[in-house]
Structure formats: C-alpha cells, structure tokens
Structure 1
Amino acid sequence: MNPEDAGRPGDTEQPQDTAPPTVERVLPPRAGLTTPENPWPLRLLSENLHAYIARCDPTWVEGQVVELNQRARVTYLTLRDVDEEISVPVTLFAREMAQMETPLERGMRVVAQVKPDFWTKTGRLSMIAQGVRPVGLGDLLVRIERLRRALAEEGLFDADRKKPLPPLPNRVGLITGRNSDAEKDVVRNARLRWPSVEFEIRNVAVQGTSAVRGVMGALEDLDADPEVDVIIIARGGGAFEDLLPFSDEMLLRAVAAATTPVVSAIGHENDQPLLDFVADLRASTPTDAGKRVVPDWAEEKAQVARARVVLDRAVLQFLDREQAALDSIRSRPVLDQPEGMVLVREEDVDRLRERALRTVLHRTEREKDTIVQMKHRVRALSPQETLSRGYAVVMTEGGAVVKSSEQVTVGDRLGIRLAHGELAVRTDSTSSRQPGEPTD
C-alpha cells in the first residue's frame, strides 16, 4: 500500500503504534523536600550553593599566613586564626598582589576583606580576598593600648582587688614552656631560698596560636587545686609578637577571675604585656618570681634568732619588773606585820560590840518601863479594877451581863460578881428608875 494512502477513511489496516510522550520531572523547590525517589541533580545543588554563598557580604578578617603559593595570575594563601588552630584557604588575584606595598611572606600577620566563593565544577569553597595589608607593630600597639584602657576603666588593674601572696606557700603552681629556661630559673631560685618548697608544674605552649588556650586551661586546673597557694605564669624574653598571647583579653579576664594569687613573670625588665597589670604581682623576670613567692630560709632563720633574743630580753625585763613589784608590796606594813591589821580590826569589833550591847540594854530598859506603864494603864481600865472599887457585875443565869431592868423579871435568879467572889440572888422587884432620880 502506498504510504500516502495510509490513514484514509475506509482503510482496513490499523495505524502503527507510536511512542508515548515524555513527561518532564518536577524537581523539589527546596533541599528539604528532596526524596530518594525525587532527588536533585548534583548540578542544581552546586548552583544553589553558589547562588546562596554569592549573597554573603564581604568580611574583614585577621589571620596569619601559614601557606603561600604564588602563581602568575593567582596566589593561593592559607590564613590561620591568631588564637585557634583554624585555617581558611584564600585566593588573591594578580591585581591585588600588584597593589600591595609589602610582599606577602609566611608567618606574616595580615588583615583582608574576604568574600566566600563556591566553585561549582569542583565543589570547592574558597575566599576571594582584596585589600590585603600587613598588621604592623604600630597597629598591634594601638590595639593593646585600647584594650589596656578598657580593662583599666573596668577596674581590673586596681590595687584593692589584687590578692596578697601567702607568706609561705604550701605548693607553688608554675605555668611555663616545656624544658624552658624560665622553668629552671623559677624552680632553682625558689629552692635556693626555701629548699622544701613544692611545685605543681604545667608545661604548655607559651607562644603561637595554642598559647592562650593552653595557659588558660593550666590556670583553671591549678586554681581548682586546693593545695596550690600561688600560681606563677613564666616565660623568657622574646620578640614582641611572641609575647602577644599574654595580652589576650580572654587570658587577662581568666587571671582576674582566679581565686588563687597569680604572679606574672613574662620576659625581661623591658617586656611588659598586659598580664603584668592584671596579675596580683608582677615579677620582672622568672628569676625574680622564684625569689618573691617564697621567703629566704637564711634570712628567716636570722629573724627567728633575733626574735628569740628580743623575746628573752623582754621576758627577763618582765620578770625583773614583777619581782621589784613583789618586793615593794612585801615591804608594806600590811604584809610585813599582818597581825597589826588584825589587831586594829579586833579593837574595832570590841568597840562596836560594846556599843551595841549598851544600846540593846538601854533600849531594853526603856521598853520595860513602857511595858510597866502599859500594864498599869490596862489594869486601871480593866473590869477587875472597877470591881475593886466597890462595883459589881450582875449576870443572868445564862451568863449575860444585865444592863437594863427590862432584861429581868420578878423571880429571876441572878449572879452578882464582886471583886472577891460571887453572890446568887433572886429578883423581888424591878424598876426603871435612873440613877439620881427620886424614889416613889
């Protein structure tokens, strides 16, 4: 059949099968919506990372150049943090290198403005740097001076917050480098002055990026030890950059917060990091620190000998003075003739006793006269005395005193009490006549 006639009406042949249309897969809009059945292509992840990182703002950073690979069109650096073991790769283009007045070298401390960049083909993250310039000595001095003023305003340098060193420490904590001259100077000079002194030594890095954290860890460890009474941070002299860890703010605040007295022995006479201002005591050298934390045994022994002489003299003078006082007291009459005082008191007692006896006798006689007078008075007023004068007391048979004729009736028996004896009578008559009235 002619191919041109295929598909006409009335044809008995069926049309041939065709392939189904391709359905385009819809990708998840966000990474969190991906699944094993519907993943992202790797290129999409790379593109999204590149777009996301490209939106980051440039950042000024400071670090130390530890690796340097300079090529014709580009220079690759590795910057390491000045305090931690953290490194970041940095890329500089030729135009940036051409603008630098001072060529880059390994170990140089620099500041740079970096912007992260994600290379989609290799999946590598790097930092594109510009404005790179070395950190000079003047910049470091300005930073240290700014930090010194800030800490001084906070009061970290004030003398009233510094703790005194113990007169004789039980154990001395020492933070210094391993097998360093500073360690030997401190230990040797301290034991020359006090042979029995004990040390608790912590060997750490005293320069480089790990110095700050190492010294802080050793300080925290020794400060927590109750046997350590004083802590020395010692390091020999060196370049200005080598002593920068001892002007680090974190280390300075850790020293200020320590409860154990801290002695700074960094460098030589002319070296003075900020640790010298924060520490409780500044020693000019490690040798000076070994001399100042412990007393001199020979000098202390001489002082004890002098003190014994002074004490003996004071005791002898005290005994002589007290003996003289006793002799003076014993020479007084009261102790020389103690019976004299007793005789005087005996005479006083006899005199007082006689006076008391006379007073008692006189008072007794006077009171006896008073009693006699009172007896006469009572007797004069008594009923018996009245009866003695011729009066009588008339009483009823019941013993009641008859005071009125109305109490008695004719024929009643009455008793009459006389001065001597009694009479029994019977009433013949009664009358109400009052004394002095005429009889009928």
Structure 2
Amino acid sequence: MSPLASSPEQPQPLRTVLAATKSWVERLGSVWVCGQLLELKRRSGAATHFLTLRDALAEVSVTVTASTGVLDAAGPVAEGMEVVALVRPTVWSRSGSLTFECTDLRASGEGRLLAQIEQRKRMLQAEGLFDRARKQPLPFLPRSVGLITGEGSAAERDVLQVARGRWPGVRFSVKHALMQGTSCVEQVRDALAALDRDPEVQVIVIARGGGSLQDLLPFSDESLARAVFACRTPVVSAIGHEPDTPIIDLVADVRAATPTDAAKRVVPDVADERHRVEQAAHRVRAATVRMLERERHYLQTLRTRPVLADPLGPVTVQLNQLRELRARGERAVRGRLREEAAWVEHAVGRVRALSPRATLLRGYAIISTDAGEPVDSTAAVTPGDTIVAMLADGTVRADVTTVETRRGSDG
C-alpha cells in the first residue's frame, strides 16, 4: 500500500487517514495469540465484555473485546490464567483507537489444567462428594493410623515425628507409594484399599509435600477422588501446602494444610490432655467443695429452725391439745350421763307412781273372782262366792258371807 500524498498546503482529511489505517490493520486478519488473562470485566446484561491480555515475557498488554457467547464457550477462566485467543485487530473509526476482537478463547498450560480441574470439581460436587454431611468424624485416639506417602519422604518423617512426639504410644501402618507421575494414582488407590480393609486402622492419612500443579495433578484424579469417598475409614488429606487444593482435599473427611498439621489432627497431644485432665480434676474438686459448703450451710440453716432446735416442741403442743380435748370430752360425757341419769330417775319415779304395786303398798287390794274376773262392784259377787284378794306381799282367798251395797255413793 503506497503512502498517502500530503503537504501543509494539501493535507489529507482525518477520515481518510483513519480509513487507510483501518484498512491496513484489518489486512492482518485473525491471529491466535497467547498471554495471561490480566483482567476480566463481565458487564451484567451487556453483549460485549472487556478483557486485558498481557504478554508473558514483556510489559505489553492489550484490551480485547469478547461476546458473552465466546466467554461462556471458554469454560471456567479466571484472572491470572494462561489463555490462547483468536483475535482480530481493528481500528475504531470514531476514536481512532486500536482494539482486538476475540472470537475464540481457550485456557492453555496451567490454565487449561486448572479449567479441567475446576470442571471436574463441579461435576463431583453436583454428585455430593463434597457434602459435609457425609464426612466422618476422626476417632479421638485411633488404635492404628494408616499412612500413605512416598518412601523416605519429608512428609513421612514429619507425620511420624510429630505424631509420636504428641502421643508416644501411637501405632502406624505405613504404605509407600509414588506421590507423582503416571503410576501415582494406581499405587495410592491400592494402598488406600489395603488400609481400609485393615480392622486395626481407624484413620488414614495421605501425605505429600508441596509441588507444582503438574506434580499434584494425580490427586485431582476422578478415580482417586471416588476411592477416597468410598472409604469406610476416615481419610485425612495432607497434599501440598496451604494454597494447594487438589480434589481429594475436598472429598476427604478432613483437609490438613500440611503433613505436620495432619499429624496434629489424628492424635491428641499427651501434654494437652494431661493439662485438660488436671483442669477437669480441679473443676471437680472445686465443684465438690462448693457443693459440700452449700449443703453444710443448708444443714446449719435447718439446725437454727425452731422445729429442729426443740424437736419435741410440736409433739408437746399436740399432746397438750390432745389432753385438753380428752378432758373436755370426759366433762361432756359426764355431764351427759348426769342429765340422762336424772331423766331416768324421773321416769322411774313416774312409773313407780303409776304402778299398781305402789297402790297395794298403801293398803289397797285387787279383788278378783276365783275364775280371775276382776271384781269392781258388789254386784259382781254373791254370798258364798270365793274371791281372791291380791295384796302387796301375796294373795288371800276368802269366801263371801255378806254383800253390802252403799246407797247413794258416787263410785
């Protein structure tokens, strides 16, 4: 393309220069570039988003536009990842600024590995392998601790030394395996199955020191993650260092930041436990003393009460009341007996006054015929009849010789 002819007297219009620049730049066409995703700005509801790509070696960065469809098709990409992008340079006619339009975006290198691991995490999480409700608690003091680690590794030394320093009597069942490389997954999985079958092993530790993303990649393997999830024995994952989070860290029942941290989690510290026992004993003694003091105070309070100062006092009061009631009852009975005796005596007197015997005692007699018929008139007998006279002390039989009737008498 030949340069534009121009002079101070005959300058080119700005639109012509921009159009020529735009035409020349766009002749480059689409090109694949690699770089680090420095910044990603997703605009909610917008169709176009902005990315900043930086060269891995030089201080060079460009702004790239990408549609929502391109970003969604790229999968899980995040700031800091290495990516490759299919970009097309162009010049905006209005501002004259150079920009790049991205039509395809993919993670590359470690970024690609991280994207794959992230996708695997999402799949396993959806299946519930990371569910906290399914994680098993660690035993307080296991009979035996299973350890899977590299032979002669620093991780093995750290776990054994720290655990035995905390609890000297701890027992270990150690299984050595390659902790990186192509055979790592198979060997770790076989060692895990062997320890899970051992009835003496009550917790399993998988320990490895730090390393690169590629070194720790086997511990994000799907089959190993599922093997850890299927273990009946609680599993402690101690892979890498604090920033490293392989998938088995999320599947394991407990994640330890380092192998040393794993040793601290699987066995208690004998010094700490002794201190806790001493503290508990002190609290028990203090609680016992407080309880005894409280009960002693309660007993002292009871002793000062009148009922305990003179236990027979209430009995004496009740006895006096009983005696008083008894005396009142006896007086009432005697009074009633006197009343009833007087009434009986009066009734007897009346009965005696009306009794025929009382009349007989005054010298009267009851006369009846020999047949027992009462004689109440001189007309009832005739001379020669026999009469019977009932007296106070017996009877007299007499023969009637004369009957005299009084004339003019009233009875």
TM-score relative to the length of structure 1 = 0.49
The reply on whether 1:154 has 2:119 as its aligned counterpart is: no
Equivalent residue number for residue 238 of structure 1: 211
Query: What amino acid does structure 2 have at the position aligned with 1:332?
Result: R
CA distance in structure 2 between the aligned counterparts of 1:253 and 1:367, rounded to whole angstroms: 109
CA distance in structure 1 between the aligned counterparts of 2:235 and 2:148, rounded to whole angstroms: 10
Equivalent residue number for residue 148 of structure 2: 175
CA distance in structure 1 between the aligned counterparts of 2:340 and 2:187, rounded to whole angstroms: 109
- 1:159 deviation in Å? 2.2
1:361-372 maps to which residues of 2 (within 5 A)?
none
CA distance in structure 1 between the aligned counterparts of 2:278 and 2:289, rounded to whole angstroms: 17
1:84-99 maps to which residues of 2 (within 5 A)?
none
User: How many corresponding residue pairs?
Assistant: 238
1:329–1:216 CA distance, 2 compared to 1 (3 A): same
CA distance in structure 1 between the aligned counterparts of 2:117 and 2:340, rounded to whole angstroms: 110
| SS of residue matched to 2:233 | coil
Equivalent residue number for residue 218 of structure 1: 191
Q: C-alpha offsets along residues 114-157 of structure 1, whole Å, 9 cap, x if unaligned?
A: xxxxxxxxxxxxxxxxxxxxx94333222211110111222222
Query: What amino acid does structure 2 have at the position aligned with 1:337?
Result: D
| SS of residue matched to 1:338 | coil
Equivalent residue number for residue 80 of structure 1: none
CA distance in structure 2 between the aligned counterparts of 1:198 and 1:359, rounded to whole angstroms: 95
The reply on whether 1:249 has 2:219 as its aligned counterpart is: no
Equivalent residue number for residue 270 of structure 1: 243
1:354–1:201 CA distance, 2 compared to 1 (3 A): farther
CA distance in structure 1 between the aligned counterparts of 2:336 and 2:186, rounded to whole angstroms: 105
| SS of residue matched to 1:263 | strand
1:305–1:366 CA distance, 2 compared to 1 (3 A): same
The reply on whether 1:337 has 2:310 as its aligned counterpart is: yes
Q: C-alpha offsets along residues 5-63 of structure 1, whole Å, 9 cap, x if unaligned?
A: xxxxxxxxxxxxxxxxxxxxxxxxxxxxxxxxxxxxxxxxxxxxxxxxxxxxxxxxxxx
Q: Percent identity?
A: 54
CA distance in structure 2 between the aligned counterparts of 1:186 and 1:237, rounded to whole angstroms: 14
1:169–1:357 CA distance, 2 compared to 1 (3 A): farther
Equivalent residue number for residue 38 of structure 1: none
The reply on whether 1:324 has 2:297 as its aligned counterpart is: yes
| SS of residue matched to 2:201 | coil
CA distance in structure 1 between the aligned counterparts of 2:338 and 2:121, rounded to whole angstroms: 106
Equivalent residue number for residue 192 of structure 1: 165
Equivalent residue number for residue 256 of structure 2: 283
1:235–1:360 CA distance, 2 compared to 1 (3 A): farther
The reply on whether 1:209 has 2:182 as its aligned counterpart is: yes
1:269–1:346 CA distance, 2 compared to 1 (3 A): same
166, 169, 184: which one aligns with 2:139: 166
CA distance in structure 2 between the aligned counterparts of 1:344 and 1:185, rounded to whole angstroms: 83
1:344-355 maps to which residues of 2 (within 5 A)?
344-351=317-324
CA distance in structure 1 between the aligned counterparts of 2:240 and 2:337, rounded to whole angstroms: 107
CA distance in structure 2 between the aligned counterparts of 1:171 and 1:367, rounded to whole angstroms: 102
Query: What amino acid does structure 2 have at the position aligned with 1:295?
Result: P
CA distance in structure 2 between the aligned counterparts of 1:156 and 1:144, rounded to whole angstroms: 15
| SS of residue matched to 1:231 | strand
- 1:346 deviation in Å? 1.9
- Long gaps (5+) in structure 2: 1-107, 342-411
